[in-house]
Structure 1
Amino acid sequence: MNTQLETKSQTNKAIKSVSKRNKTIKNILTYAAFVGPALLFFIVIQIIPFFMGVYYSFTSWNGVSSTAEWVGLANYIKIFKNDPGFVNSFLFTTKFMFAAVIISNFIGFGLALLLNAALKSRNLLRTVFFIPNVIGGLLLGFIWQFIFVKGFASIGKMTDLAFFKLPWLGDENTAFWGIVIVFAWQISGYMMVIYIAALQGVDQNLLEAAKIDGASNWTLLTKIIIPLILPAFTICIFLTISMAFKIFDINISLTNGGPFNSTQSVAINIYQEAFQYNRYGLGTAKSILFFIVVAIFTTVQVLATKKREVEA
């Protein structure tokens, strides 16, 4: 009798073990079916080219020949010692990043506050403000190039206003702000959508209670709303920093880095180095340095804003 019970118990354990193993295999296959293709494309499109770029940054490859001569740290030494163009483009891109991040998020958050109110036309306005983000950067740049060169000049003749008579794309300072204006015009609608989603998650009962206690609109905004939606600020600032650093299409279509390379972004500098001057090894070395700097900026920003979230 005891032997039969032991046999039956062992059989049940074996069945459970097989069932558990089958379930585990099924879960693995399910995850592989859904995650596998995306992971494969990510590895092929992102990871492998990244490590290939790291390798080529230590070579003198011209991007065409079948052989790549190993030169070690020569490309990096050349960048730091004898490449003022890259340094200037980096300074321009960093300055542009700070201006673009502040303006884009200020406009995006302002639009979100406005369109989160009970307006009858808010859905239409949300669509209108988001449309620029759908337009491709090159097309957007050429549209605004026409506006700056032809449109503003015509308005300046009719109104005699000095603002419209400025050489918007022909002077270093005005060209810089011209690029900032176009970038903010394109990106602000995208930031607006994120901020609206965050604002809609704020508990209205909390706001009503604060109003009853006598809180002003400014107090509601600074003491309740902004602290509650800090995660949205973290996301939006991260996105705008990365987008501003990587600006290429708007920059190249508006000014092509001019006048006299004064508005040349790092992305344009790397593109010219690798594909116009056929110094692919030097171009990839610049891109690796660029990647490191952008990673440092975004990591510091995320850590700083996340810390504020915890404190709030």
Structure 2
Amino acid sequence: MKRKNSKLAWFVLVPAMTVFFLFHTLPLLQGVFYSFTDFKGYGNWEFVGFRNYLNIFSDMRVRGAYVFTLSFSILSTILVNIISILIALGLNSKIKYHKTLRAIYFVPYMLGTLIIGYVFSFIFSRLLPQIGTSLDISWLQFNMLGNPNLAWIGIVVVAVWQSAAFNTILYLSGLVTIDPDLYEAADIDGAKPTTKFFNITLPLIMPFFTINMVVAMKNFLMVFDQIIALTGGGPGTSTESVSLLIYRGGFQGGEFAYQSANAVLFFIIIAVISLFQIRVLERREN
């Protein structure tokens, strides 16, 4: 019986591991290899050592992309977790149709990102200016996506609106694990809602908070679809993320090796940030 189970396990694992290696590990290793060359994506190439990595640190466009991506990710991660916790607390209460509302809040996560981006692009460029004009609201009469100083706001709104659904589901899963007797004891002691949240709710859902913070930060660091649909990285390069820069330079600009080095560096940065978050937040769990 054990031999049959062992054979079945290998029969299932080998194809899965083969596919994973061919479509994930092998491209990763190839990217690392080409990052030490001058490969343009076509033609011949030569080894250049660490030249690509050194050039990244002096490239102002790369620096701007990293500043935008990190700023966007930090702000969006904070906003999406605050909003998700508030929504989860509301949906977890004994309000009418709370199960139906849970399903409704999860809809944005199921929709395609590009579709959502194009819909919001219409809202920001056409609908809101029309509303601003009809109501005589000056700051609402222009397309914020065309303003280099304000275009990032639209991307944050769309990214947070869509991501809040997944985070809310996780927080709801955490709230279900809390014993209601704890809240009853707190009510007997006359505890205020804020006191119950910071002393009961938040400490007991910290594992879920850790997951949401790490996953949200990682996803926002890799932002791509929302920017493509809303601004295309513009105006100029004001909303160009690192992922978009790697794609454009590597596949459209003949900088395959250079952007491969950028991708390797970006991967290391994401890994370091994720490990730092886990280390800090796990201490809070204890």
In structure 1, C-alpha distance between the alignment counterparts of 2:23 and 2:87, rounded to whole Å: 36
Deviating more after overlay: 37-46 vs 176-185: 37-46
Q: 1:94 aligns to what?
A: 70
Query: Displacement of 1:226 after TM fit?
Result: 0.4
Q: Give the partner amino acid of 1:303.
A: R
| Contact 1:92-1:263 at 8 Å conserved across structures | yes
In structure 2, C-alpha distance between the alignment counterparts of 1:257 and 1:70, rounded to whole Å: 31
Q: Give the partner amino acid of 1:28.
A: S
Q: Does 1:125 align with 2:101?
A: yes
Query: Displacement of 1:28 after TM fit?
Result: 2.9
Q: Quick one: which of 33, 55, 80 aligns to 2:57?
A: 80
In structure 2, C-alpha distance between the alignment counterparts of 1:110 and 1:294, rounded to whole Å: 27
- 1:14-29 matches, within 5 Å, as 23=2, 25-29=3-7
Q: 1:298 aligns to what?
A: 274
Q: 1:167 aligns to what?
A: 143
Q: 2:36 aligns to what?
A: 58
| Contact 2:126-2:143 at 8 Å conserved across structures | no
| Contact 2:88-2:169 at 8 Å conserved across structures | yes
| Contact 1:137-1:250 at 8 Å conserved across structures | yes
Residues 58-82 of structure 1, C-alpha deviations (whole Å, 9 max, x = no match)? 11111123x432111111121123x
Deviating more after overlay: 203-212 vs 226-235: 203-212
In structure 1, C-alpha distance between the alignment counterparts of 2:195 and 2:8, rounded to whole Å: 50
| Contact 1:115-1:122 at 8 Å conserved across structures | yes
- 1:254-265 matches, within 5 Å, as 254-265=230-241
Q: Does 1:109 align with 2:74?
A: no
Q: Does 1:194 align with 2:170?
A: yes
Q: 1:271 aligns to what?
A: 247
Number of residue pairs matched? 286
Q: Quick one: which of 43, 55, 63 aligns to 2:21?
A: 43
Q: Give the partner amino acid of 2:39.
A: W
In structure 2, C-alpha distance between the alignment counterparts of 1:216 and 1:192, rounded to whole Å: 23
Query: Displacement of 1:44 after TM fit?
Result: 2.1
In structure 2, C-alpha distance between the alignment counterparts of 1:307 and 1:37, rounded to whole Å: 39
Query: Displacement of 1:278 after TM fit?
Result: 1.5
* Structure 1 consecutive aligned stretches of length 4 or more whose deviation exceeds 6 Å: none
In structure 2, C-alpha distance between the alignment counterparts of 1:50 and 1:95, rounded to whole Å: 27
Label 1:105 to 1:163 Cα distance change in 2 as closer, same or farther (>3 A).
farther
- 1:171-186 matches, within 5 Å, as 171-186=147-162
| Contact 1:166-1:174 at 8 Å conserved across structures | no
| Contact 1:167-1:174 at 8 Å conserved across structures | no
Query: Displacement of 1:163 after TM fit?
Result: 4.3
Larger radius of gyration: 1
Residues 32-78 of structure 1, C-alpha deviations (whole Å, 9 max, x = no match)? 2444443333222221111111001011111123x432111111121
Label 1:37 to 1:212 Cα distance change in 2 as closer, same or farther (>3 A).
farther
Question: Normalized against structure 1, the TM-score is what?
Answer: 0.88
In structure 1, C-alpha distance between the alignment counterparts of 2:149 and 2:138, rounded to whole Å: 15
Structure 1 portions without partners, runs of 5+: 1-21
In structure 2, C-alpha distance between the alignment counterparts of 1:119 and 1:187, rounded to whole Å: 23
Query: Displacement of 1:147 after TM fit?
Result: 0.3
Residues 178-236 of structure 1, C-alpha deviations (whole Å, 9 max, x = no match)? 11001001100111011001101111122212222222211111101100000111110
Question: Normalized against structure 2, the TM-score is what?
Answer: 0.95
In structure 2, C-alpha distance between the alignment counterparts of 1:181 and 1:134, rounded to whole Å: 17
Q: RMSD in angstroms over aligned alpha carbons?
A: 1.5
Query: Displacement of 1:170 after TM fit?
Result: 1.3
In structure 1, C-alpha distance between the alignment counterparts of 2:75 and 2:185, rounded to whole Å: 37
Deviating more after overlay: 98-107 vs 168-177: 168-177
Q: Does 1:243 align with 2:227?
A: no
Q: 2:120 aligns to what?
A: 144
Label 1:36 to 1:116 Cα distance change in 2 as closer, same or farther (>3 A).
farther
